[in-house]
Amino acid sequence: MRHLMSPLDLSRAELEQLMDLADDIKLHPDVYSEKCHGKKLATCFYEPSTRTRLSFEAAMLNLGGSVLGFSSADSSSAAKGESVSDTIRVISSYADICAMRHPKEGAPLVASQRSLIPVINAGDGGHQHPTQTLTDLFTIRSLRGEIKDLTIGLCGDLKFGRTVHSLINALVRYPGIKFVLISPEELRVPEYIREDVLDKNGFEYKEVDSLDNVMGELDILYMTRVQRERFFNEEDYIRLKDFFILTKEKMHLAKKDMMVLHPLPRVNEIAVDVDDDPRAMYFEQARNGVFIRMALILTLLELV
């Protein structure tokens, strides 16, 4: 039985297989509409979510399966003090696969160790978010044909943004990728990502605090929200929240085919008028999240 805690749980070849499957699902959804008949997905979300939870649920429903679950810690027995280990042990007898989001880093991993069904990490604190990374890789591959020779700007809250951590982890395995890490000093990527992932792999990257100065170099701009819920005090959040705002005017500085991605939700960091720019791909990215999650569910349930 396999779980998904980090994008590194999948080899490069497995990632390609998963994306090939997602491509096929996107083209021929009818072929897959009954593949999970009789199977159940449990969504155990101890933290707010719109896209991740609903795209998992849509994915399972599109496969002909059913879903059950909870969408906040308050509405589960966590409010009574139950551990994730006990919760998953019980849910193992109600469902066939589980997607879990938790504010504590490592909680889905702890759950997976007690689980009798595959567990997918749907975001654990400021740590990892592997299915967002699958969505991001799938979107890049769909738009560029392959993931290769790209300068990728990661902008915003690189300290607490788990989507950024997972994406860096995954992308260091692809050829010709360069990172431009764009953040205020206080929100730089954590040291463990710099040392254990980037430096250890001899990876090319630079850290800057101006978006305008690097805009013209980028093939992909991955914007992120300042992660308010992970700040220790509101003053710091207020000071940093509008540090970078991508506007229509700024888009003039970018390459004609630069792609703008964002895991969403957006707060202020992308002005709404950027949405009409054909380079704004974040809504397409969110749509892709359903196909890649369908491919993941089929793979972990060994139905392909």
Is 51 one of the binding residues for ligand NCD (CB under 6 A)? yes
Minimum distance from residue 169 beta carbon to ligand NCD (Å): 14
**51 belongs to the catalytic site:** yes
Catalytic residue (choose from 43, 52, 135, 163): 52
Three-class secondary structure of residue 96 per DSSP: coil
Q: Is 206 a catalytic residue?
A: no
CB 116 within 8 A of CB 92: yes
| CB 40 to ligand NCD: min, Å | 22
| 247: annotated active-site residue | no
Give the bridge partners for 66, in sequence order: 40
- Residues 141-170 as x/- pattern, contact with ligand NCD by CB under 6 A: ---------------------xx-------
Q: Is 132 a residue that touches ligand NCD (CB under 6 A)?
A: yes
Q: What are phi and psi of 79, to 5 degrees?
A: -65, -20
101 as an active site residue: the answer is yes
Active site residue 89: no
In sequence order, which residues have a C-beta less than 8 Å from that of residue 78 and are 6 or more positions away?
46, 84, 87
Write b or e for each residue in 235-265: b if 16 or more Cβ atoms lie within 10 A of its Cβ, otherwise e: eebeebbebbebeeebbeebeeebbbbbbbe
Residue from 35, 51, 159, 165 carrying the catalytic annotation: 51
Q: Is residue 288 at the binding interface for ligand NCD, with CB under 6 A as the rule?
A: no
Q: How far is CA 67 from CA 107, 203, 303, in A?
A: 21, 41, 17
| Under rule CB under 6 A, residue 225 binds ligand NCD | yes
The residues binding ligand NCD (CB under 6 A) are 51-52, 123, 129, 132, 162-163, 225, 263-265
Active site residues: 51-52, 80, 101, 129
